[in-house]
């Protein structure tokens, strides 16, 4: 996605993340990586979905915690594992 469009959407709408209830960290073990994996991930700002290049820094069996930058702003969120593809 064009960086300017992404920055506009990100500035206008809140970044959505999975809730604690959805993450179920009381059930699924949490893995944290000292070397993040490069991924492409689908995220939502309000109702707007976009695919971003991100770093997977933690995960469970069902979800992935990612970090990514749009413009000069770093974002962190949790997404469902099937919304993430590893960059080859």
Per-residue model confidence as pLDDT tens digits over 19-66:
999 999 999 999 998 999 999 999 999 989 999 999 999 999 999 999
Q: What is the pLDDT of residue 49?
A: 93
Please answer whether residues 53 and 75 qualify as being in contact, where contact means their C-beta atoms are separated by less than 8 angstroms: no
How many angstroms separate the Cα of 31 from the Cα of each of 43, 57, 59, 61, 77? 21, 8, 5, 9, 15
Domain containing 16 equals 3-86
Which DSSP category does 19 fall into?
-
Domain count along the chain:
1
Please answer whether residues 13 and 45 qualify as being in contact, where contact means their C-beta atoms are separated by less than 8 angstroms: yes
Give this prediction's pTM. Answer: 0.89
């Amino acid at each position: 996605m064009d960086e300017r469009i992404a920055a506009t959407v990100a500035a206008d709408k809140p970044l959505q993340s999975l809730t604690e209830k959805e993450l179920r960290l009381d059930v699924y073990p949490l893995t944290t990586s000292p070397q993040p994996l490069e991924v492409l991930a689908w995220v939502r700002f309000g109702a707007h979905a976009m695919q971003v290049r991100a770093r997977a820094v933690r995960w469970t069996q069902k979800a992935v915690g990612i970090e990514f930058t749009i413009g000069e702003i770093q974002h962190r969120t949790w997404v469902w594992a099937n919304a993430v593809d590893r960059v080859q």
